[in-house]
Amino acid sequence: MLKNKIGKRLVEKVGSKLVGNQLKIALLISEDEKITKKRMSEILNISNTAVDKNILQLKSLSIIERVGPDKGGYWKVIKKPE
Low-confidence residues of the chain: pLDDT under 50: 1-3, 81-82
**In-domain check, residue 51:** yes
In the three-class reduction of DSSP (H, G, I as helix; E, B as strand; rest coil), residue 9 is classed as helix
What is the DSSP code string of 13-50? Answer: HHTTTS-HHHHHHHHHHHH-TT--HHHHHHHHT--HHH
**In-domain check, residue 71:** yes
pLDDT for res 10: 56
pLDDT for res 70: 84
Q: Which domain holds residue 47?
A: 5-77
Q: Look up the CATH number of the domain holding residue 55.
A: 1.10.10.10
**In-domain check, residue 26:** yes
Structurally, how many domains does the chain consist of?
Answer: 1
**In-domain check, residue 57:** yes
pLDDT for res 2: 46
**In-domain check, residue 82:** no
**In-domain check, residue 55:** yes
